[in-house]
C-alpha cells in the first residue's frame, strides 16, 4: 500500500475536488435541493454544465468553538473527497453543512454512508 492509497477508497487517482469559495455559490446551492442526514445536511444545485462537481463546506457557530468547527469541516472534506469523485454528478455544486455535536463525533463509516444515501436521494437514485 503506497502513501496515497486510502483503505476502502477506489483505485481512482486522488484528484482534488474543486472547492466553492464565493458566497454567491453557497447561496445558489441553498436555493437548490436539500437532503438532511443524521451527520450533516447536503445541499445541491445543478449548474447545467459539463464541468466536474464542486463542493463547499460550512459549519455555524452552533457546531461549537473554532476547534470543533474545524474538526467537523475536516471530516466533511474527507468524506467528500472519498465519495464525490465517483458519486458526484458533473455540473453540480454540493454544500455540506455540519451539525451541532454530531458531525465531529459520528463514526466515520456512518458519515460516508450518510453522504452516499444523501447523494442517492438528491439525484433520485435507488440505494
Please indicate, yes or no, if residue 3 is contained in any of the structural domains.
Answer: no
**Could you give the count of Cα atoms lying within 13 Å of 117 in the half-sphere of its Cβ?**
13
Can you read off the three cell numbers belonging to residue 101?
A: 455535536
Number of domains in the chain: 1
Residue 116 located in a structural domain? yes
Rounded to two decimals, the pTM is 0.85
Residue 12 lies in a domain: no
* Residue 9 banded pLDDT, cuts 50, 70, 90: low
> Can you give the CATH number for the domain in which 75 is found?
3.30.230.10
Assess if residue 38 is contained within a domain: yes
110 domain residue, yes or no: yes
Rounded to 5 degrees, φ, ψ at 20 are -70, 135
Give pLDDT tens digits for 65-89. Answer: 999 999 999 999 999 999 998 899 9
Amino acid at each position: 500500500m503506497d502513501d496515497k492509497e486510502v483503505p476502502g477508497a477506489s483505485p481512482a487517482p486522488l484528484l482534488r475536488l474543486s472547492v466553492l469559495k464565493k458566497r454567491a455559490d453557497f447561496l445558489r446551492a441553498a436555493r437548490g435541493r436539500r437532503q438532511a442526514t443524521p451527520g450533516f445536511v447536503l445541499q445541491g444545485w445543478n449548474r447545467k454544465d459539463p464541468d466536474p462537481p464542486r463542493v463547499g463546506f460550512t459549519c455555524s457557530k452552533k457546531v461549537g468553538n473554532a476547534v470543533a468547527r474545524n474538526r467537523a469541516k475536516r471530516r466533511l472534506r474527507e468524506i467528500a473527497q472519498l465519495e464525490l469523485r465517483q458519486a458526484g454528478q458533473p455540473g453540480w455544486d454540493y454544500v455540506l453543512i455540519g451539525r451541532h455535536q454530531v458531525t465531529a463525533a459520528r463514526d466515520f463509516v456512518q458519515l460516508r454512508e450518510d453522504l452516499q444515501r444523501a447523494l442517492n436521494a438528491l439525484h433520485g437514485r435507488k440505494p
